[in-house]
Amino acid sequence: MTTYTAIKLAKRPSAKDIGPNLFEVAQLEKPSPAAGEFLIKQSYMSLDPAMLGWMSADTESYIPRVEIGEVMRSFGYAEVVESQHPDFAVGDKVTGMFGLTEYAISKGQGVNKVDANLPAEMVLSIFALPGLTATQGLYRVGKPKAGETLVVTGAAGSVGSIVGQLAKAEGLRVIGVAGGQEKCDWIVNELGFDGAIDYKADGIKENLEALTPDGIDVYFENTGGPIQHHVFERMNAHGRIAVCGMIADYLAETPAPGPNWMNLLRKRLTVQGFTMPDHFHETVELLEILTPHVKAGKIKYRAHILEGLESAMTGLNLFFSGENKGKLIVKL
Amino acid sequence: MTTYTAIKLAKRPSAKDIGPNLFEVAQLEKPSPAAGEFLIKQSYMSLDPAMLGWMSADTESYIPRVEIGEVMRSFGYAEVVESQHPDFAVGDKVTGMFGLTEYAISKGQGVNKVDANLPAEMVLSIFALPGLTATQGLYRVGKPKAGETLVVTGAAGSVGSIVGQLAKAEGLRVIGVAGGQEKCDWIVNELGFDGAIDYKADGIKENLEALTPDGIDVYFENTGGPIQHHVFERMNAHGRIAVCGMIADYLAETPAPGPNWMNLLRKRLTVQGFTMPDHFHETVELLEILTPHVKAGKIKYRAHILEGLESAMTGLNLFFSGENKGKLIVKL
């Protein structure tokens, strides 16, 4: 009998501290696939802000929460190592919700085969949740038009960096909000954004005004926080706001007040929250929009690689501290 | 030479007090229509919350503000009394933006001929701004489905009362928020709403919970105020919010905070502000939706009639005090 390692949820988060104390490292017996199943060995696990929601006690969330004692849910890149399934062969490279684990049994639900020539880091950074989320929010909610101005928060993050690059490719003026000079430099110098605002520095309102002389038409919200009110104030008539994340408030005991709705009325704004589980069935259509931009070399990414399964337990907290630089990926 | 009376804007409002001190009563010389023009004599003037916006100094508003010294803009019902216009004959009954005045010259822009058999009060209460606004907001933004629950604030007002009745006709559960027992009784007993909440009474949160056991799918917002947060909290996944008015905040120096966007994300809500000038070109389509319900006897109204041109100057303040009972109309 051989065993493998997995990380189970042991406790629900109650403050802005997602650390190892919430998890339990377990040694599990390696299973064999039954008929219609296959066994995968995971090589890369994606850490995503959505995981914070799945861990919380909130039963109103958009997909079922992870129960205490379950292997923590996560998305990853793996290879099929044993198969009793007609559509998956040993050696296939696949992505899916395998969880924080070395091995997993699957029946194929939600599992996609991927081009073995693409680097795993690129698959997880672009052709998985980040790219699908950016595409859905930008195109379906933001409805960008060439010549408009877009502001994206969390601009150096996995989703925000793709949103900004797609918007640039569509001919928009793009201003990113990020934490710290290094991230601001990266989105302007490497990704080609038209400007960056460091939300940790002074003068965010003045900087925003200087960088958006024609106001703001599309606002892609990943973070919440005080910048939200300033962006909201500068929205143009018929502006669109895609609410994708509110990391600043995920675990706040008293969430910060939102903007008053007078401006929403006066400017005839549309504010729409969206989450990807509603749109997974549209993956093919979203990839049809995204892929040509990637092939044209318009979408750069950087992966922030953590080493070893157990690093996932400390890695999640980087979303709150804003210390991650690029797509958080755990390499097994 | 004969003269007529009109009311000009003399001063901009600066607090929640819209009274005679903001206006000036003027005697003007009665003009004669030139070629391509006609003269109307107004018999009924509509008072609408939108007028508060047109008076304010805010230059970001959706249609041009009224300048100091101009006749105050308003919508009304009139008869053509002299005509040099090929399409308008003496005796035609018309509606249009004639202003707070006994007489006006028009070239026909934005003027519609109306069925002389319909009472003027019904024309102004249903087939003018209130009915068009209710129809646009409910159908185009609210997208109601039979079996869903709708909450409308300002439910006894000119727009809210039509919204609720249309939603009932479409098979929704309809809860209205209004000020005072008399209005609450009216919307339930006369208009057929499923329930009413008196926002001036205690326990609005508990009353809302009791009256919306299945949550809320469509929220038609006319007022703002504390009830907004309670309704927002009870929205169901994929709920739609039409923001039509924010009377509680129109003239507030410090507008009240809005709801945090976490729920907007978690429930994938859409919040959309709208104003009718964007949709006047769709009047025919909107009337095609509204008219069958009126003909089927589904839409009752009540007009709150003020007597005499000058009563308009005190009448507008009734929107803030909430003392109007039904559509505010000035009879000349």
**Which pLDDT belongs to residue A178?**
97
Task: Answer whether B260 touches A (CB < 8 Å).
Answer: yes
DSSP B98-140: --SBSEEEE-STT-EE--TTS-HHHHHHTTTHHHHHHHIIIII
Per the rule left: phi > 0, alpha: psi between -120 and 50, beta: everything else, A268 is left
Binary contact (B224, A261; C-beta < 8 A): yes
**Which pLDDT belongs to residue B322?**
83
The CA–CA distances, whole Å, from A239 to A216, B87, B192 equal: 7, 39, 37
First to last CA, chain A: 21
Q: Which amino acid is at A265?
A: L
Q: Which domains does chain A have, with CATH numbers?
A: 3-121+303-331 (3.90.180.10), 129-278+287-293 (3.40.50.720)
Partner residue facing B246 (CB), from A61, A261, A267: A261
Q: Are B289 and B299 in contact (CB under 8 A)?
A: no
With beta carbons under 8 A apart, name residues in chain B contacting A264.
243, 271-273
The residue of chain B nearest to residue A62, with distances taken between CA atoms, is B266
**Tokens representing A143?**
């409805």
Q: Which amino acid is at A207?
A: N
pLDDT digits over A15-73, tens only? 666 789 999 999 999 999 999 999 999 999 999 988 988 888 665 556 788 999 999 99
Binary contact (A221, B261; C-beta < 8 A): yes
Tokens 């109306």 belong to residue: B114
Mutate to test the interface with B, among A264, A274, A275, A279 (most CBs of B within 10 A): A264
Binary contact (B256, A256; C-beta < 8 A): no
DSSP SS3 for B294: helix
Partner residue facing A273 (CB), from B244, B264, B273: B264
Chains A and B form CB pairs within 8 A to the count of 118
Mutate to test the interface with A, among B63, B265, B272, B274 (most CBs of A within 10 A): B265
Binary contact (B265, A250; C-beta < 8 A): no
Task: Answer whether B221 touches A (CB < 8 Å).
Answer: yes
Overall size of chain B counted in residues: 332
pLDDT digits over A162-171, tens only? 999 999 999 9
pLDDT in tens, chain B (332 residues): 699 999 999 999 876 667 899 999 999 999 999 999 999 999 999 999 889 888 886 655 567 889 999 999 999 999 999 999 999 999 999 999 999 999 999 999 989 999 999 999 999 999 999 999 999 999 999 999 999 999 999 999 999 999 999 999 999 999 999 999 999 999 999 999 999 999 999 999 999 999 999 999 999 999 999 999 999 999 999 999 999 999 888 777 788 999 999 999 999 999 999 999 899 889 989 999 999 999 999 999 999 999 999 999 999 988 888 888 889 999 99
**Which pLDDT belongs to residue A144?**
98
DSSP label of B21: G
Smallest CA-to-CA distance from B213 within B243, B234, B186, B241 is with B234
Q: Is B185 exposed, middle or buried (0-12, 13-18, 19+ CB in 10 A)?
A: middle
The residue of chain A nearest to residue B260, with distances taken between CA atoms, is A258
**Tokens representing B113?**
């001929």
Distance CA B162, CA A275 (A): 34
Distance CA B200, CA B179 (A): 6
Binary contact (A261, B271; C-beta < 8 A): yes
DSSP SS3 for A16: coil
Partner residue facing A257 (CB), from B260, B264, B267: B260
Please report the residues numbered 37 through 66 in chain B whose beta carbons come closer than 8 angstroms to any beta carbon of chain A: 53, 58, 60-62
The CA–CA distances, whole Å, from B188 to A245, A287, B30, B173, B225 equal: 40, 50, 47, 12, 22
Task: Answer whether A271 touches B (CB < 8 Å).
Answer: yes
Distance CA A79, CA A92 (A): 6
Per the rule left: phi > 0, alpha: psi between -120 and 50, beta: everything else, B204 is alpha
Report how many helices (DSSP H) and strands (DSSP E) chain B contains, helices first. 11, 15
Q: Are B71 and B99 in contact (CB under 8 A)?
A: yes
**Which pLDDT belongs to residue B30?**
93
Binary contact (A268, B267; C-beta < 8 A): no
DSSP A217-283: EEEEESS-STHHHHHHHTEEEEEEEEE---GGGTT-SSPPPB--THHHHHTT-EEEE--GGGGGGGH
Distance CA A199, CA A178 (A): 6
Distance CA B79, CA B116 (A): 10
Q: Are A242 and A136 in contact (CB under 8 A)?
A: no
Low-confidence ranges of chain A (pLDDT < 50): none
Distance CA A77, CA A96 (A): 7
Question: How many Cα atoms are found within 13 Å in the side-chain-facing hemisphere of B134?
Answer: 30
Greatest Cα-to-Cα distance within chain A, rounded to the nearest angstrom = 68
Distance CA B56, CA B73 (A): 12
DSSP SS3 for A193: coil
Task: Answer whether A320 touches B (CB < 8 Å).
Answer: no
Q: How far is CA B71 from the centre of its chain?
A: 20
Q: Which amino acid is at B228?
A: Q
ipTM of the complex: 0.90
